Amino acid sequence: MKRTMISQALMALVMGTAALAPAMAQHGTAHGAAAAPAAGSAVQYRPDVTFTLRTDIADGKLVFISESGATKGTANPTLNVAEGAIVQINLVNGDGATHDVSVPDFNAKSNQINAKGSSTSIVFKADKKGVFTYICTLPGHVAAGMIGKIIVGGAVAAPVAKGADISQSPYAVGTPVGARGPKKLTVNLETTEIAGQLADGTTYRYWTFNNKVPGPFLRVRVGDTVEVNMANAKDSHMIHSVDFHAVTGPGGGAAVTQAAPGSTKSFTFKALNPGLYVYHCATPMVAQHISNGMYGMILVEPEGGLAKVDREFYVMQGEIYTAQRHGTQGEAEFSLEKLLNEQPEHLMFNGSHDALTKTHRMEAKVGETVRIFFGVGGPNLTSSFHVIGEVFDRVYSQADLTSPPAKNVQTTLVPPGGATMVEFKVEVPGRYILVDHALSRMEKGLAGFLHVVGKENPDVFRTASKPDADSGH
């Protein structure tokens, strides 16, 4: 039924100007039309280029989907038009929510449509060269993803900001200790300051351990003696240090590792307490160093090691405070004011917006057991960690690995500077979304995907119809 309604709407939209012109009052508002109406007649126009878009939900966001031309099927396609062209944009409602379409720079805005399959249009003259946006003007819809570009006159868009890939692989979990006894280990860390990729078209000056956010996942055994060597890169501008929450000693090691650029500091500690612990830079101002990316985790396994599972993943949540608003292209700059007010513009898993949605593909097979080592770098926000479509079979609260775990948990709280370990068996194929259930944070970049592959399991989950779209919940 849905396909039929949209097809009928598209037929009406592509029948041509003769059919559309008398219906402009129903379909929308035309600003800058090609010709003024004769007395007592409807607006007449002849578009030079026509685009048809459909509203939908994709990857948990509201989007415009192209229904025509070379961009068909693309979300929020870039529309290229000649300078001076008469442009028509048709909009078909594909999701049943209320929407419109507007190009503010050309004073073009349609009326609102809210029935699935309904349609509207705008027409305007692209009489100035440049890069502009088309949007849905409903409150919150731009933030939810309904924004695209219009390039007029072959204008060259501003160069897309590119930085280093600082995102940490969720697979970088190290080697389980197994049944071995205590031994001496060496950990080498380097603190660096690098321009990294925060989001598509946006870079940020990260401060890191070993060029990744979070820093390396360190894996030791209770009773191990660990030597830590921390070198601060020569080209750094700041002093850096490291504070291990697993360390019993002054500042968790930070008191003896305040390293100037080009210097190295060392200390040795004995791992007395099993658990999963955060480490971070502890050089004033500490919150700035952490928010810029200087955090990671160390796992101190109990005697005999952890129980075997099929998949292990390393995931940490962080915040970045920028002067520019979320979504701004180019190099983002740190904002002390927003940090002190605890108002981050960006939240992310494993260092960047795309780390666990595009850059790294977390995957498991139906029937496998998944373990996630989850921590919050912070520095300020508590996470309500949740995997949409799954229940945690076991949650090791506060990363306590020796007490019995909580069972059958939907969402678990993890404070900044804290951690947890969760385990669950994946029963049904599909894409499962990792979130902080303070769900507004998804709009600031905080999401990850776990792809489960394998045979359907109708005894656990089945549906008689294909979902309209991925709503995310």
Number of domains in the chain: 2
Q: List the one residue out of 261, 255, 313 whose CA is nearest residue 282.
A: 255
Mean pLDDT value of segment 295-304: 97
Query: Does the annotation flag 99 for ligand binding?
Result: no
Going from the C-alpha of 32 to that of each of 89, 101, 154, the distances in angstroms are 13, 16, 20
pLDDT at 1: 41
Could you read off the pLDDT of 389-444 as tens digits, one per residue? 999 999 999 999 999 999 999 999 999 999 999 999 999 999 999 999 999 999 89
Q: Do residues 267 and 314 both lie within one domain? A: yes
Contact 410, 427 (CB under 8 A): no
Q: Do residues 211 and 266 both lie within one domain? A: yes
Q: List the one residue out of 115, 71, 118 whose CA is nearest residue 90.
A: 118
Q: Do residues 130 and 250 both lie within one domain? A: no
Q: What is the 3-state secondary structure (H, E, C) of 194-237?
A: EEEEEECEEEEEEEEECCEECCCCEEEECCCEEEEEEEECCCCC
Query: Does the annotation flag 31 for ligand binding?
Result: no
Measured from the Cβ of residue 48, the count of other Cβ atoms closer than 10 Å reads: 15
DSSP characters for 82-121?
Answer: -TT-EEEEEEE-SSSS-B--EEGGGTEE---B-STT-EEE
Query: Does the annotation flag 442 for ligand binding?
Result: no
Q: Which of 152, 181, 212 is the last residue of a domain?
A: 152
Query: Does the annotation flag 240 for ligand binding?
Result: yes
pLDDT at 154: 81
Phi first, then psi: what are they for 64, rounded to 5°? -95, 130
Q: What is the reported pTM?
A: 0.78
Could you read off the pLDDT of 191-228 as tens digits, one per residue? 999 999 999 889 999 999 999 999 999 999 999 999 99
CATH assignment of the domain containing 216: 2.60.40.420
Query: Does the annotation flag 245 for ligand binding?
Result: yes
Q: Do residues 134 and 210 both lie within one domain? A: no
Q: Do residues 148 and 166 both lie within one domain? A: no
Q: List the one residue out of 75, 69, 65, 49 whose CA is nearest residue 152.
A: 49
**pLDDT level of residue 388 (50, 70, 90 thresholds):** very high
Q: Do residues 280 and 424 both lie within one domain? A: yes
Domain that holds residue 228: 160-473
Which residues does residue 161 pair with via DSSP β-bridges, in sequence order?
201
Contact 100, 138 (CB under 8 A): yes
Q: Do residues 400 and 439 both lie within one domain? A: yes
Q: Do residues 266 and 140 both lie within one domain? A: no
Query: Does the annotation flag 353 for ligand binding?
Result: no
Query: Does the annotation flag 280 for ligand binding?
Result: yes
Q: How far apart are CA 295 and CA 241, in angstroms?
A: 11
Q: Do residues 304 and 371 both lie within one domain? A: yes
Q: Do residues 280 and 399 both lie within one domain? A: yes
Mean pLDDT value of segment 72-93: 94
Residue with tokens 């780390």: 355
